[in-house]
Amino acid sequence: MFVAANILPAYKLDYPQPGFWLQNDLFITITLICTAIFCGFGNAILWCAEGDYLTNCASPSTKGFYFGLFWFIFMANLVAGNLIGAFVLASGFS
């Protein structure tokens, strides 16, 4: 939802239409703030549920492995995603 709300400023920049309510600065600001708050609450619930799920799935002897595996995959995706983005931008496909 927050990513979709960021389309509004880009749309305003690319297709300026004075007086159009969707391109009103106040509307864009309020939309971005509201979606950021909503995503923040959703992420708080998601992270708590993730930790609880991993804790419930693992035995006391395997908790470290499961948490380590989760964080390895999470951090590897951050690195891989940034590398993919860098290669796409360097190729001129934008």
pLDDT value, residue 19:
83
pLDDT value, residue 94:
55
Is residue 37 located within the same domain as residue 70?
no
Per-residue pLDDT, averaged over 45-65, amounts to: 92
Per-residue pLDDT, averaged over 78-90, amounts to: 92
pLDDT value, residue 1:
87
Q: CB-based contacts of 6: which residues, under 8 Å, 6+ apart? A: 32
- The residue segments making up the domain with residue 20 are 1-57
DSSP state of 19: T
pLDDT beyond 90 at 80 = yes
Is residue 44 located within the same domain as residue 67?
no
Mean of all residue pLDDT scores within the chain: 91
Is residue 30 located within the same domain as residue 72?
no
